[in-house]
Structure formats: structure tokens, C-alpha cells
Chains A and B, each alone.
Chain A
């Protein structure tokens, strides 16, 4: 039985050049990190940074393996309520898969766009993806990245427990590529 999600450690670092309308943001900004509408984490509020706020706050969030994007939303608490001033989508491939080793600390930055699609600043984060449970750290890196590649496209099949006393004569499991697999 394996887990179907990974824990991400996202450190929200800072933002640059945030505006509301044409004026620079003055204060009270925070960032929400979402994998889907229900699963999100938020940073504390930055009260001093203005248009260049910084949080340097680490958030831990579970990301299901089939999710392909993490959404970063920058909010501002103004007199007229909470406004989303910019969003960016971070593709999972930017920090997982490929030839990057596990536990690589990725420093990533994205262009924020407001509700109208206009550019509104940049958000800087760092992301580290932790190994899912069924892959322990003894596996070599190449094998792990191949497994990532194949698990990105489909959910691993759930294992069916074999009940005591009954011999069904079959075993199910998750296909794993061995390092000798061509």
C-alpha cells in the first residue's frame, strides 16, 4: 500500500513590484499556496514590505501525485476587504521529475497576473519535494526519477490485501522499473 501524495516544503520567500490598480501596494499582504480549492496553506501577513513584501515562511503541504500545478495566490487585506492581487501557477515538473535529484532545493520565481490577466509582479519561492512513503532513501536516484516519470501519468494501483485462510492465488502490486530495465 503506497501513499498517493507527496509532502512539499514550500518556503514562500518574497514578492516584487505588487500593485493594486496602478498604485503600489502599501501593506498587509500574504500568500496562499493551493493544490486544489480545498487544500491550501497561507503565510502570515507582511505589514511592512509594501510592494516588496517578504515572508521567508516555510509551509508544508500534501500534493496528490496526479496534481500537475500548485497555485500561488497573493492576497492583500485592504479597507474594502481581502483582494487577490496576483496568481501564478507552478507546474509540478518544475521541481519534480527530470534529472534533478530528490530533496533538491529548487529556487523558483513566477510572473504574477491579476484577475484581468495583466502582469502584476513576481513571486519568489523555494520548493523541496519529499519522497513519498513507498520509496525509501535506499533506492538509487536514477531509479527514483524513472518511477516519478511513470507515476506522474497514472495513479499507482492500490494493493489488495490477501486475507488469512483464503488463498486466492494471485498477487497484485505496483509495477516498478528496475535499474536493469532497458
Chain B
């Protein structure tokens, strides 16, 4: 128990108010509990809380004497699963163009397609005083339904999506009179994105007498209803300083409540025994500190004399605020609102090691029953999520390691067979080009990623030159280990400063240990043959396995990191969403 073993250096370090704490805290979930819930189940990434609000126009009139009394029921639908009811709005009386007040709170998860299904019902008069949850839906009049993915709503510039209500899921709109429209609007709930940076200084700090040494540090606490202050952050300990200036303190408004919340700033003298002496304190809110900064004046500290007669003894020391600045940390959804896009690109391995595509044991076998092979699965899993973030849904698609018709082996040929352009339309376009390419090329080798990565990098940098707000995601699906590792590293390093992320999915049973070197998470920063080191980690590698049931797939884990990579790129360049 002796304090000779305690981590004194750790005890002197700043906690809670560092830039990483405020920045990371603001970027992460608004609710730590939710964040932990997801992380403990293997989910990573950014979770934003969204609120959906609803209104409708031109609903069908079902009631004879008065207008319909509509209510919305929301379902979530996992892939190929049955819909699960999650929310009901209130009943609006007597309106064919209602606006509902009740909002549905949902957590936005980038890496999965969150399909939502909406049913609108006309609630019978006799149920009007019943709690909405108790209303039996099969006793009500069904007015229409609509469905969409959550990301479809969030990628609209005004975050509102208008959906036509239909009577049955797969009926065409023309054969039925229209049933009105449902408008779904999304709002991101984040109590504050503002981070405050302050530099605090003290003059004439003294303790006991003028000659004793002082190792001062601050603890800033917020006061809660019960009156007990809760510490929010503490600064580093300065050595032997009567006029200390601490390193900048970063506080997010979320951490303290609001800009006007009263804060308690306590000045302590560090004691290696752990019992620090309280020298004095000041009670100010962030708004007060801002005023202190602009006026340049100092705030007099007072000390609480416990048990003494003089409750608030005024000290000679003064607190000064040398710097006070606020900055806004934009979220991923803010950038989407400002018009940023994620552009999906795909490159497929056509090397001979995949096996003859006509034989059922080949990784490229096209099953006539419609069961997707590993390549198709990877395309669908990644493409289905990313397609919503691409405005024109035209995706560059390439193959590598094959001989197109009678030409030489190409390590970057257009999947659509064209000589001029590489784009295909939608995920369907990728699947069709892939199937037809299998018939038109001879699988060869070796496995080289360099040419495909360089082509993708060229597209990304050309887009920059045209002032685009596009971020590119290249998916490489391969069955084997890359042959020229150094050339691949060179291409990656060259592309590491561009708005590009590379996802590599390994299929089949090969040993992908060497490929993990490309993913800097698992090793060192990549180095090119010219001595340049990758500016950031843009590659993620994962080995594909069939995952059945409710577990999250490894591909989802890959995708979950994308918003963070995107934000890092934008923030490091101080690019702001302009909306």
C-alpha cells in the first residue's frame, strides 16, 4: 500500500480536458452507455442518435362522417427477415394531411443497411382514448405503407424523404389510386458539437508562505442538482510555479452541461502522498470565463476555510483566461448534409488460382440456383451499404490478373468490357459485368494490386482537382496473396494522402498472413521503395468467412471504420461541410 509504487507521473498527467478527450468524446456517441453496449457486442464505429419525425399528405379518407384519424407504425427489417415493430406515433384526429409530434429515436449505424417500413393506419373512433401501444392493428383501417433505408433519408440535403404510400408491397403505382405520401424527416441529436479551448493562468499563487514550493494543478467540476460537484477534468501538474500557465484545456459543452452551467475551478497543490492541498477556488461558468478573457481582467480566488470563522477568505492570487476559443466538430452526417459523397469502386481478382469458373468448386462459380459465390457476396455486402452515399450510382469496376479475349494479361481491365470508360450502373451493373466478364476472359496471373490502386488513386486525385467533395472507397476482392508486395506498398503510399480508403477482402482458403502487413492496424506504417512513408492508414484487410445467423459479418467490421477514416481526412485538412 505504500505510495512508493504509485504512478506519480500518471498522477500528474492531465485528465479529461485534453484535446483527444474532448475531440474523441464529441465524435463518439452522445450516450456512453449505448456506445458501450455496441462495443461490447463487437460493433465499432460511429453511432449517431437520429430522431425521425413524420408527416403525411393526401391520405385516403376512410371515415364516412369525418376525416381519417391516422397513426404511423414503424418497423425495422433485417435482411430477409420479418419486420419487427419498433414505434408508433400518436393518433392525429380528423386530418388527411397530418403532422405527428412523436418522434422515433434510432441509432444510425453506417455499416449496415437499416431498412425501415412504415404503415399508416386510420384508428377507429372507439380507440381514441386508448394508449397507442394497446391498439390492435388488425382492427384498424390500413391506409398504406412505404419503406426506405435510413441512409437514404440522411443523404438528402434537407434530410427529408418523401415516399409514396402504396396499398400492397409489390403493386405498381399506376394500377392503384394513390394513397397519399409520407414525409420522413431526420434530425441528428447531438447536444453540442462545440469544443472550447482555454488557457488558464494564475498570478501570485501562494500556499502557507511565500517560500514554500507549489506544484499547482486545477480540477474543474460541474455542479449537479444535488449540489455535489462532479469532476470533469484536471490539468497537468506544474513544477514549482507561483505563476502557473497550464496547457490548453479542451472542454466539450456536453461534458459540462451548458455554457452557463456553474463550474467549480479548484486549485490544488500536488502532494505525492495523494493528499493534495486545496489552495483556493473560483466559481465561474464557461460564459463567465469567456467574458474574463475578453476583458483581460483577473478573477480573485477565494479559499474556503473549513471550520474557520472567515468562510471565504480572499486570496491575493488571481485567475486569468489567456485564451478562449470555440470550435465546432462536425459529424459524419454534417458532411453528408453538406454534399459530401462516398464513391464506391470495385476490383475483382481473375487469377487462375480461383479455379475454372465452370466447375462448382471454383470461387468464381456462378450457381444456377442463384446462391451467391464469395465474390458476389462481398460485392453485395459492401455495395449495398455504400450505394446510398453515391449520388449517381455509377461505380468504376475493374478486373485484374486475366487475359481479356486475345490480349495480353491485364492487371486493370474494365469489367464492362469497354475500352473507354470503367463505370457500371448500380450493384446490378457490377453483378452483370462480373458474370459476362467471366465468360470473356481467361484467368491468368499473377496477383498484382499496384495497377488497380494507381488507377483508383488517379480518379481520386482528378476529382480533387475538380473541386469535388468526394471520398473514394476501393473494394478489392482477392483469393490469393499479392505477388509483388513492394509495388503494392508503393502504390498505397502514393495514394495515402488522397481521399481514398481501400478495403481488401480475402476469399477462399489461402493463408493471408502476408496481406495483413498492408493493414497498418496490424503492423507498422507502410514504406515505399523511395523512402516515403504512408501519411495515413488507408488499407483495411479482412478474410471473408460465411457468417450465418445474427452475428455481425467481418465485412461490416470493415465498413464501420469508414466514417472515422473520412472524418480524419476532412478534419486534418480543416475542411468544413458547407451547408
Contact = CB atoms under 8 A, between A and B. Distances in A.
Q: How large is the interface on A (under 10, 10 to 19, 20 to 34, 35 or more residues)?
A: 20 to 34
B525 interface: yes
Interface in B516-539: 525, 527, 530-536
Contact of B536 (A91, A104, A105, A107): A107
B527 A99 contact: no
Interface in A23-80: none
Interface string A136-170: 00000110010000000000000000000000000
Contacts of A107: 497, 535-536, 572
Nearest to A91: B530
Interface in A83-118: 88-89, 91, 94, 98-101, 104-111, 113
A145 B465 CA distance: 10
A122 interface: yes
B531 A111 contact: yes
Given A88-B531, A89-B531, A91-B530, A109 B464 contact: no
A141 B465 contact: yes
B533 A110 contact: yes
A151 B497 CA distance: 24
B464 A110 contact: no
A88 B531 CA distance: 8
A99 B458 contact: yes
Nearest to A142: B465
Contact of A99 (B464, B467, B534, B536): B464
B532 to A, nearest CB: 6
A109 B533 contact: yes
A122 B530 contact: no
Interface residues of B, number: 19
Interface string B387-427: 00000000000000000000000000000000000000000
Contacts, number: 46
A99 B462 contact: yes
For A88, A98, A99, A108, the residue with the greatest tally of chain B CB atoms inside 10 Å of its CB is A99
Interface string B495-525: 0010000000000000000000000000001
A51 B466 CA distance: 40
Contact of B532 (A94, A98, A101, A142): A94
A109 B532 CA distance: 6
A111 B533 contact: yes
Interface in B430-467: 458, 461-462, 464-467
B465 A100 contact: yes
A108 B531 contact: no
Interface in B472-510: 497
Contacts of A88: 531
B465 A101 contact: yes
A109 B573 contact: no
A105 B525 contact: no
A107 B570 CA distance: 12
Given A107-B536, A109-B525, A122-B525, A98 B531 contact: no
Contacts of B461: 98-100
Contacts of A91: 530
A98 to B, nearest CB: 7
Contacts of B532: 94, 108-111
A104 B463 CA distance: 13
B573 A105 contact: yes
Contacts of A89: 531
Interface of A: 88-89, 91, 94, 98-101, 104-111, 113, 122, 124, 141-142, 145
The 8 closest A-B pairs by CB, nearest first: A109-B533, A99-B461, A107-B535, A101-B465, A111-B531, A141-B465, A99-B462, A107-B497
Interface of B: 458, 461-462, 464-467, 497, 525, 527, 530-536, 572-573
5 contacts: A101-B467, A109-B533, A110-B531, A111-B533, A122-B525
Given A107-B535, A141-B465, 9 more contacts: A89-B531, A99-B465, A107-B536, A108-B532, A109-B525, A110-B531, A110-B532, A111-B533, A142-B465
